[in-house]
Amino acid sequence: MNLENPKKYKMLVEQAHEVALNFFRPISRKYDKAEHAYPKELDMLASLLDGMNAGSGEGTSSTALGKRGAADDGSIKNGANMSAALGVIELCYGDTAFLLSMPRQGLGNSAIGAVANDEQLERFKGKWAAMAITEPGCGSDSAAIRTTAVKDGDDYVINGEKIFVTCGERADCVVVWATLDRNLGRAAIKSFVVERGTPGMRVERLEHKLGIKASDTAVISFTDCRVSAANLLGNPEIDVAKGFAGVMETFDNTRPLVAAMAVGCAKASLERIKELFRDQLDPDYGTPPLNASNIEATIYRLEAEWEAARLLTLKACWMADNRKPNSKEASIAKAKAGRIGSEITLKCVELAASLGYGEDELLEKWARDSKILDIFEGTQQIQQLIIARRVLGKSSSELK
């Protein structure tokens, strides 16, 4: 078992690390204070990433994720899921909100990559896609979605409201989860690509948030919004036996990426706190924890937890790259990294005292940014519930 990053991604990791340090960090505070202002500097970086992804098929492309292009010849490989996670870790080492604001790297792109057919992949190629799942009154329970999609000829007519849509105002299109028939429950939920400017789709407002302020978070309403049937992702038939599995495949892609975001943000805090206390730490880890100072012992413990989160994240990505079912592992990685990411960033603020709490340091910003990574794409509590169901072999109706 090799615990190191794959050697073939060494250059990718180094380039992403340089972007984080020299491109993201210098403008991080500027856009944290200018909430909702779009970081125009990202356009150039996005164009460079497009070129990298076009040449390799991997890089940090969200649409390339999933098991579609994974190894199917019995060989073991590291592919797009692994490379994307490694890139995300390093970019979030610089600024999580900037990663979430990157054109054509939205969570909706992961949904397209997970369930779109070949024709849709080609048609939506180059589009920046946001993801619209959460609704007022049904946050963590995605199966309780009330937004409807009614078939009308060659179109679907969508009605409903979505909240907390990351990049909902900036993206070229939004992947909207809606139900074809409320009476059929989870099985009737499908995802649709709705392009910006479609009549009936309206951005109602942008939310003011604790962190990730450079990323816009929108409330979007759909009123008799007509979308072509060709924009339904996956199988249009309602398969009660398969249930919710189709659209839920999206989370197998996105949860490891959110875990990678938490790992990257926590890495930034850990490295900064070690720099601040470098004169009090044993660089060779030769001091037994029981003989170490409280600061030393705390930092050593946080480092161990961080390493566990990193390895769990890479495992979930590796499984996707090798066509292995990874729903449980994706939730384990998200739960561990989300929780420990918040603990690490807050503890680093505490250890740095007044220095960590002030705006002269990015420690306080990283603490604010990291909290959302324990919430979106399924809260900590939801991840633990999913893990329990998988371990115990229980259905959602048997274990709530």
Domain of residue 90, CATH code: 1.10.540
List C-alpha distances in Å: 265 to 199, 256, 364.
38, 14, 12
The answer to whether position 2 is within a domain reads no
The answer to whether position 399 is within a domain reads no
Phi/psi at 312 (5° precision):
-65, -35
Identify the band that residue 249 occupies on the pLDDT scale cut at 50, 70 and 90. Answer: confident
The answer to whether position 294 is within a domain reads yes
Point out the domain boundary residue: 61, 92, 123. 123
Q: Are residues 69 and 161 in the same domain?
A: no
3-state SS assignment for residue 39:
coil
Q: Are residues 386 and 302 in the same domain?
A: yes
The answer to whether position 198 is within a domain reads yes
Domain extent at residue 271: 245-392
Identify the band that residue 57 occupies on the pLDDT scale cut at 50, 70 and 90. Answer: very low
Furthest CA-CA distance within the chain: 74
Among candidate residues 396, 330, 390, the one with its CA nearest the CA of residue 141: 396
| Enclosing H/E stretch for 237 | none
Q: Are residues 274 and 257 in the same domain?
A: yes
**Predicted confidence (pLDDT) at residue 59 exceeds the cutoff of 50:** no
Stretch 8-17: mean pLDDT: 94
The answer to whether position 398 is within a domain reads no
List C-alpha distances in Å: 305 to 216, 309, 316.
31, 6, 17
Least confident range of 75-89, 106-120, 201-215, 240-254? 240-254
The answer to whether position 46 is within a domain reads yes
The catalytically annotated residue of 161, 169, 305, 377 is 377
**Predicted confidence (pLDDT) at residue 60 exceeds the cutoff of 60:** no
List C-alpha distances in Å: 124 to 109, 118, 154, 190.
9, 10, 19, 17
pLDDT digits (tens, 9 = 90+) for 13-44: 999 999 999 999 999 999 999 999 999 999 98
Query: What pLDDT shows up at residue 46?
Result: 86
The answer to whether position 267 is within a domain reads yes
Q: Are residues 160 and 193 in the same domain?
A: yes
Q: Are residues 97 and 162 in the same domain?
A: no
Q: Are residues 109 and 204 in the same domain?
A: no
pLDDT digits (tens, 9 = 90+) for 335-365: 999 999 999 999 999 999 999 999 999 999 9
Query: What pLDDT shows up at residue 205?
Result: 97
Q: Are residues 276 and 361 in the same domain?
A: yes
Point out the domain boundary residue: 63, 91, 123. 123
CATH number for 314: 1.20.140.10
8 A C-beta contact, residue 205 and residue 86: no
How close are the terminal C-alpha atoms of the chain, in Å? Answer: 36
3-state SS assignment for residue 122:
helix
195 carries an active-site annotation: no
Q: Are residues 254 and 150 in the same domain?
A: no
User: Which residue matches tokens 């807050």?
Assistant: 346
